[in-house]
Copies of this chain bind each other. A is one copy, B any other.
Amino acid sequence: MRIGFIGFGEVGYEMSKGFLTEDPQAQFFVYDPLYEKEETQQRAKKTHATLFSDPQSVAKETLDVLFVAVPAPFAEDAWRSIWSELNEETLHVDLTTASAQVKQRLGEDMLNEKRTFIDGAIMGALKVYQHKVPIMVSGTGSTSLIDWGKSTHMNLTYAGDLPGDATNIKFIRSIFTKGLSALLHEVMQAADKLALDDIILDSITRTMDKEPFEQIINRLISSNVIHSQRREKEMENVIDFLNSHGIEPQMTKATRDKLKMITQANILEKNQGDPPKDWKQVMRLVNCT
């Protein structure tokens, strides 16, 4: 296999090491703005990569896949700098953390020239997983990349034909995972401080492990439509409770504020007084204002 990397930082280096374990004959053609740096040269040496001093030389090679893996602010420039060398055969994959808008714009321009353009959002730790890191992919050519990736055991998930969607999914997922981590921190800090940690752990895990998470989503989002006002007041009391124990109620204050906003959204009224049947209906009513 012949793989190009524009940007040969952690992403390119770790993935290359992984690809080599699958195919010791794999060939890498790489460029990095820091190509003169000792570290870059060592990385190229360790992966037997051909290190160029300009990105065009990478793009001129016959490649199965060309990855761009530069810091987000340089993503668009990196693609534009090799624009004239790109072709219809190579799979072009943007692994940067550039915004969905940037990736959508690049994708449209690529599509106009009949080139593939795949938005790849890395969802895990590269040092742990190397080329097997979970990557969400969207855009023209995604399914071809997934086919190609199967032989190398890449962990690619199809997220649609629009570049930017993979990036948006990564963002939205991270609201959830980081938010949950912050919430659990606040909850467990209170539990530990009051020496109720074991019983709280038991109570919470039992609730969470009892039913599939989709049912929990439905139950929690839907019940707020009816009970948000009462719960606002409950959260007021919990804020006082946390303050009195010296715990900063950041997540609980935000919960109260969100509940207030849910109350003000009059979701039940918008649905002619019928309780929404699931979270999807709640969100349609919320977003259709």
Contacts and interface: CB of A to CB of B under 8 A. Distances in A.
A184 interface: yes
Q: This chain: how many copies in the complex?
A: 2
A261 B251 CA distance: 12
A44 B200 CA distance: 37
Nearest to A289: B246
B196 A169 contact: yes
B251 A185 contact: no
Contacts of A259: 178, 182
Interface stretch (A29-37, A147-155, A203-211): A203-211
B191 A172 contact: yes
B189 A220 contact: no
Contact of A175 (B173, B213, B251): B251
Contacts of A193: 287
Interface residues of A, number: 77
A188 interface: yes
A233 to B, nearest CB: 10
Given A186-B258, A213-B204, A262-B185, A220 B172 contact: no
Interface stretch (A53-61, A84-92, A278-286): A278-286
A175 B186 contact: yes
Nearest to A254: B254
A248 interface: yes
Given A212-B209, A253-B254, A286 B189 contact: yes
Q: Say whether chain A's binding surface is mostly helix, strand, loop, or mixed.
A: helix
Given A251-B251, A255-B178, A283 B205 contact: no
Given A165-B196, A208-B213, A258 B172 contact: no
Given A194-B168, A231-B178, A284-B192, A199 B159 contact: yes
Interface in A153-197: 157, 159-160, 165, 168-169, 171-194, 196-197
Contacts of A194: 165, 168, 172
Given A168-B196, A251-B254, 18 more contacts: A169-B200, A171-B238, A173-B200, A175-B183, A176-B187, A176-B204, A177-B220, A179-B183, A179-B187, A179-B251, A179-B252, A181-B223, A181-B255, A185-B258, A188-B282, A188-B283, A250-B258, A254-B254
14 contacts: A99-B241, A159-B196, A168-B241, A171-B190, A171-B241, A176-B184, A181-B221, A183-B183, A188-B217, A192-B283, A204-B217, A209-B213, A248-B258, A250-B261
